[in-house]
Chains A and B, each alone.
Chain A
Amino acid sequence: MFRFPQRGYCFCIGDVIIMVRVELKEATKYYGERRGVEDINLSINDGEYLAVLGPTGSGKTTTMYLIAGLLSPSKGSILFDDEDISNVPAEDRSVGFVFEEYNLFPRMTVESNILFGPTVKDLNLIESRKISRELLALLNISGKEPNYPDEISGGQKQRVALARAIVSDARILVMDDPLRALDAKIREILQVELRKLVKDLGITCIHATHDTQEAMRVADRIAVFKDGMIVQIGTPEEVYNHPNSLYVAEFLGEGSTIEGKIDDIKEEKYLVLQDGSRINVETDLQKDEEAIALIPGELIDVYPISMKKKLNYHNIFEAVLLDVRCVGEFNELDLEIFGSRFKAKDLIGKEIPLKKKSKVLVATDKDDYRIFPKKEGKMINKKKSDRIINSNTQVGIDGSSVKKVKKK
């Protein structure tokens, strides 16, 4: 348990006392003509862990900078606990900021780095040193205090940066893609550590990332960004299972897309493909509307052809298994269905005797498909539409779309 002397509150592990509600109201930032973010309405509750998810250039960093005060909004306001702090300079906001490139001060030891905040704020250094020790122990890097940043590894650097941000009397923690520069394995480990630390401290935390898995692993809620605007906010489950647009669906679940027309027979909806195949789906779209369906790879179940009678699914198709690869926690299967290439993912451990180039059964339920009107799909993805839509329909390495391959 440690105590922040200046404010008179304590962070008690597992027993939360102080937290800050952060609110952005119509926050807008333009860089000259270029849009950074527009009309961001976002409210982050006390002690909540929010992930801001989006590709490079979608306004994540701008949002983080607005909250920290490194940028001031062109329009709109930012509130901490209902107090408008839009015009408070960064040095007075007490926002603990963790950068992508660590930004440790190279000429200072780990300890001086961590104590930089308390030093310039004239806090009680003895207390702060105690807190820093406890934090370093929590983060498994005790004993590195006398080292210089270039003597420790990337993962350790980011842990030090995290400790530095917290020790400087931070009211909230803002992290801008903090794990991007790290190796895959360290990233995996730190994701778990981060969430654990933030939850133990009970601090309000905003974490920007471009990595869907990372967002899912760390956050209570996810805000999906696109071109400087928020497309959807919700818990990982909500955004994943009920994406409100093709963009979100594609960003959250790597999958394959198919196009077709909606048909309905006896209350059941079907997607009719060009070659006449019918897929049972669930959608609000009406008959004859053009639609795009996306199915995440992990929702496609694959079985040997002999099991046909035993399966209980809404849709069962025959397919050709092109390739199986074991890539760690799951197997990746390349399938050819309706003349297009599909990628399926399957958790390892389940033994399926499947052979390459053999016929298999592909089984899906009707609620596995995320259906979007074709027009809207195009509209939502106005700018980068083609690239984004195609990126999941297997753009060949030479730029030609594999999808165009005709059935033999």
Chain B
Amino acid sequence: MVSEQRDIEVKMRRNLLKAENWLSKKNVLTAGKVITIVIFVLIVLGPILYLLLQILINSKEINSTVFNDPILGNEAFLMMLRSIGLSLKIAAIVTVFDILVGVPIAWILARYEFRGKNILDTLVDMPIAVPTSALGFSIYLFWGTNNGISRLFNSQVGLVSQGTFLIILAHIAFTFPYVTRSIRGIISDLDLNLEKAGKTLGASPFTIARMISLPMVKEGLLAGTVLAFTRSLGETGATLIVSGVYQTAPVVIVSWMKGLKIPTTAFLAFILILISLVLLTTVRLFARKVGLPWKKVFPRFERKLSSKKVKRSRDGVSLFLFFMFVFIPALFVIIYLFQWWGRSPFSGDPQAGMIYQVFQAPDRKFTEIFRALGTSIEIALIVTLINMVIATPMALMISKMKNKKVKGILDLLIDIPLVIPSSALGFSIFFLWGSNGMHILSPGFFMIVIAHVSFTYSYCVRPLIGSFDAIPTMYDEAATAFGASKFTAFRKVTLPFLKSGLIAAAIMTFTRSMSETGATIITMGVERTIPVLLVDFFEASTFPAAAFASTILIIISFAMLLLLRRITRRAKNE
């Protein structure tokens, strides 16, 4: 019996090896690569290309609706220009703030050792994981209502009303981490010995930071800046809540879409995508070439800037600004929830309190909340699964690619979903798959899934490329040199190295899918995910329910973030 079983085992193992050997054949591998690229193009790039194509083909229809509408004339175009202008202005201001405050904070996190550093580190990252609609809501409560900051001044109305300024405040909160994150790692990986060398050559700390460290951080900083800028340009969830009558471009897309003005929406989405793509490519192409100004050194002045006093006050101000404009407003919703737990803090009316509104009121909001939460989790899980399957081969391919040009192009293409506004992306997916295009899907569960797959794709591929790159090539060589086929080597050697990288990518994908608003609104049909429900609650002015939903979302994202950090840190220690 036993030996029979063993024979079967041996046979199975041999068959597996044979199968892997077949899969490792050159033409099979090539076919695999082709399939990977086809899937990528179909799901991620396809909708965008289709949109661009349609705009060019149907320029007549565009012309008649956007520029020469029989009733409105070019009113739609003017509105587009206004909204895009507003979006660009906001994005610019937000990015400047992010850099000015983000760089010193990244430096603090990378270089100083202090108690609670890990906590601060997690807090800085948090806005990335938290759904922007929850963030926007929290910020609105803090700045825009009489529950928040205005309490300090005993004012009856909010300090900042809905509008441009509030949009800026909201955008600062959720774009902030992009800059810090993108340079923090680089700063802590900088070779301290270079700075020591600079010191022995007579340079003061400020001169060293400016002339030696900054050039090496430059590319990361530019990448982070582009991300922050494009995220601000394309954000929907939070903006819907804080914008009031001031409409940024992505918000206009959503509202036109709701009014089913397809051609004008398409054109606006087209322009937004174009702006983001141009930004992305320019920065990618020229990041290395950007020279640093001010080669000249002013030893005395820079020495003064290096003094402890200047350093301390700079750190203090940055930290204060971070807490004041990012951290406290972002989490204010939790305080609000407790204020309104049982009854209104103003009138004392229990019917205005959260408990009544969510659990006891006849419209049974909690079933709605939990159904939406269920849908969100379901979608996020499916999306994560799909992405793991299609992103891993892509990451492997990019990481192992020898042709530098092709590698560079793929690397750039991967980032596209990261920078284009999610509402524009959602719209192009609707456009391709829905009734106006191939008519395969109608808005609803599956269209949301596709939209999420497409825009979380880069969140999944990026860290995986990093994990593949981190495996020393000698292991690849050692793995195949002893007679293993490429697939066997991958299974036995590469995969174990990749474990934590895969988990980290999965968590990131899951979190992003959970918190997405813009694309979801456009592709959801009658389905509701929880970030969208939050916007609905907000629009219906049921703030306590919205606060309840927000808090749940924040807690989930926070838990995910902690998990992620634990895994990545463990991987690093190994």
Contacts and interface: CB of A to CB of B under 8 A. Distances in A.
Chain A–chain B contact at Cβ < 8 A: yes
A282 B191 CA distance: 53
Contacts of B196: 70, 90, 97, 99, 103
B297 A91 contact: no
Contacts of A204: none
B193 A116 contact: no
B216 A106 contact: yes
Given A105-B212, A107-B216, A120 B197 contact: no
A169 B202 contact: yes
Contacts of B297: 119-120, 122
Contacts of B207: 120
A103 B193 CA distance: 6
Interface in B184-240: 191, 193-194, 196-204, 207, 211-212, 215-216
B202 A70 contact: no
Contacts, number: 72
A103 B203 contact: no
Contact of A164 (B201, B203, B212, B215): B201
Interface in A158-205: 164-165, 168-169
Interface of A is mostly: loop
A94 interface: yes
B197 A97 contact: yes
Contact of B194 (A68, A97, A105, A168): A105
A285 B470 CA distance: 60
Give the size range of A's interface with the partner.
Answer: 20 to 34
Nearest to A164: B201
A120 B200 contact: no
B299 A120 contact: yes
A107 B215 contact: yes
Contacts of B201: 91, 116-117, 120-121, 164-165, 168
A92 interface: yes
A57 to B, nearest CB: 18
Contacts of A164: 201
Interface string A71-111: 00000000000000000011111111101010111110000
A322 B153 CA distance: 94
Contacts of B193: 99, 101, 103
A90 B299 contact: no
Interface residues of B, number: 20
Contacts of A106: 194, 216
A116 B202 CA distance: 9
Contact of B299 (A68, A94, A122): A122
A169 B197 CA distance: 14
A90 B306 CA distance: 14
Contacts of A70: 196, 199-200
Nearest to B298: A122
Nearest to B194: A103
Contacts of B203: 91, 116, 120
Contacts of A119: 295, 297
- Looking at A93, A117, A119, A164, which has the most chain B CB atoms within 10 Å of its CB? A119
A32 to B, nearest CB: 13
A122 B300 CA distance: 10
Nearest to B198: A116
Given A105-B194, A120-B207, A96 B202 contact: no
Contacts of B215: 107
Contacts of A91: 199-204
- Looking at B191, B202, B295, B297, which has the most chain A CB atoms within 10 Å of its CB? B202
Nearest to B201: A117
Nearest to A121: B202
Contacts of B212: 105
A122 B295 CA distance: 12
Nearest to B207: A120
B365 to A, nearest CB: 57
Contacts of A90: 196, 199-200
A149 to B, nearest CB: 11
A207 to B, nearest CB: 15
B191 A103 contact: yes
Contacts of A169: 202
B287 to A, nearest CB: 13
B202 A168 contact: yes
Nearest to B203: A120
17 contacts: A69-B200, A89-B199, A90-B196, A91-B200, A91-B202, A91-B203, A92-B202, A93-B200, A103-B194, A107-B215, A107-B216, A119-B295, A120-B211, A120-B297, A120-B299, A121-B202, A122-B297
Query: Across chains A and B, which 9 residue pairs bring their CB atoms closest together, nearest first?
Result: A97-B200, A117-B201, A120-B203, A103-B197, A107-B215, A90-B199, A168-B201, A121-B202, A103-B193
Interface of B: 191, 193-194, 196-204, 207, 211-212, 215-216, 295, 297, 299
Given A94-B202, A120-B207, A168-B202, 6 more contacts: A69-B199, A70-B200, A90-B200, A95-B200, A103-B193, A120-B203
